[in-house]
Amino acid sequence: DVKVTQSSRYLVKRTGEKVFLECVQDMDHENMFWYRQDPGLGLRLIYFSYDVKMKEKGDIPEGYSVSREKKERFSLILESASTNQTSMYLCASTYTGTGEQPQHFGDGTRLSIL
């Protein structure tokens, strides 16, 4: 089975802090994604990566950056955390290409910014 592991289930940080969320997958997937999930808004794509050291902006990249130094690891960085970044963050991965390649999700990190 595919395993996508996020480093923390719950995280509390303060406004202005630099926050790192880590995600690791064990299936040699090329594509990795970071979403945030908010009530009434669904999942919104922050950034994605289709290869090591490659990244693409999603729909809401402002205030975030990412790093993909190794194929299995994709990190989301909140450069200077703000209260409006309090949310559930979900990481996902999939093989490259079209067709029936579902994204596999981690369990999520519930981040609170105080």
Partner 1 sequence: GQNIDQPTEMTATEGAIVQINCTYQTSGFNGLFWYQQHAGEAPTFLSYNVLDGLEEKGRFSSFLSRSKGYSYLLLKELQMKDSASYLCAVISGNTGKLIFGQGTTLQVKP
Binding site for partner 1 (CB under 8 A): 4, 31, 33, 35, 40-45, 48, 50, 56, 58, 90, 94-108
Decide if 12 contacts 114 (C-beta within 8 A).
Answer: yes
CA 61 to chain CA centroid, Å, is 11
Quote the CA–CA distance of 54 and 48 in Å, as a whole number. 9
Minimal distance, residue 18 CB to partner 1, in Å: 26
Minimal distance, residue 102 CB to partner 1, in Å: 4
Contacts of 34 (CB under 8 A, 6+ apart): 21, 23, 45, 46, 47, 48, 58, 64, 66, 74, 76, 89, 90, 91
Residue placing its CB nearer to partner 1 in the complex, 18 or 34: 34
Residue placing its CB nearer to partner 1 in the complex, 84 or 99: 99
Residue placing its CB nearer to partner 1 in the complex, 19 or 32: 32
Minimal distance, residue 46 CB to partner 1, in Å: 12
